[in-house]
Structure 1
Amino acid sequence: MNWSKGLWRGWLAAALLWGAAVAAFAAADLHGRHPFAGLYAYSDARDAFLPQHYAADEAVVEDGVRRGVVTRTDFPDGTTLAAPPDLGEERVRAVAERFWAERWARRAEALWPWALRAAVPPLLLLLSGAFALWVARGFRPKVVPEEMGVETATAEDAPKAAFNTRSAGGLPPFIRSLGPDPKRRRVLGAGR
């Protein structure tokens, strides 16, 4: 029985199950929320994109667009950017392009805590298991190597040929296995 191999496989299975559970909780927690969806407002004073955590439904945003107090830009990933209309059309387009370019940084920032939750517990378990095996191996009895003495060669220790060369005139076994043939016996000799 190999404890190291069994514990390694057990850890691998537990780590995969743990990662799947954390991924399921992360998907449930982040679905439909910032930075993967939702409304962002551009702040010209801060030059930043601020997630709007209040419940701004579609009608409120559309009302702001209709009254001319907000410019709305929708993106393919489900996010919406609201910017003040006094920035001008060209500046709003540049802000929207920057918002779209920075989406991966926002997502990485949101996923970082979930990645730590998925990776740290299995790594701690692996390190503690390796430490426990290291301690357990310290309690094994020491194997004393055999005395290194001068070895004398005996007949039993002599290397043996790959096939028996004493019979059939030194022919390899595959030829000798062809069976007795009276003609061959006369040529090769009678069992010399």
Structure 2
Amino acid sequence: MSPITIALLAVSMSVDAFAVSVGRGAAAGRPRFGEAFRTGVVFGVVEAITPLIGWAAGVAASKFIQQVDHWVAFVLLGGVGLHMLYAAIWKKEEAAPTDSSFVVVLITAIGTSLDAMAVGVSLAFLDVNIFVIAAAIGLATLVMSSGGMLLGRLIGYRLGKVAEILAGLVLIGIGTNILIEHLAG
């Protein structure tokens, strides 16, 4: 996987956390840097761990589905991308939780990282360094969550929706590219 693809994947995986952080920042009024950074660290660590869990599950299952692994990657990435598009376009906006306790932030981080676990499963079928990808996802999520929380009051929810639409399209594109590369040769 090229560095550009890894960067696109990392940013795409961090968009849910960014959108939630924008909402948290908007709801908090004027969040402090320390609170935004702490939120970013929690989101980043969780977002880095979940693709590793998914990858491990995918590696365990790869022996059984090796003949169709490209289709599995395509369906998982495409499915996550379509879900992101659906959530951004048609789902009603929910208020972001304003409680900044560690437990609430952790639960929110887990909720926004489940798509990264599915992506981790799809990465098990590719020749990639999962640790580099997980670190990139974690770092991107830390930066985007912290920044999203600080920008939340200024930009509101709109930018979060646009970013989620773009991320969904990127994931669909990566999944389609995997399928085309396999079918072409």
Structure 2 length-normalised TM: 0.25
Larger Rg belongs to: 1
Instruction: Give 1 or 2: higher strand fraction.
Output: 1
Instruction: Give 1 or 2: higher helix fraction.
Output: 2
Structure 1 length-normalised TM: 0.24
Higher relative contact order structure (alpha carbons within 8 Å, sequence separation ≥ 6): 2
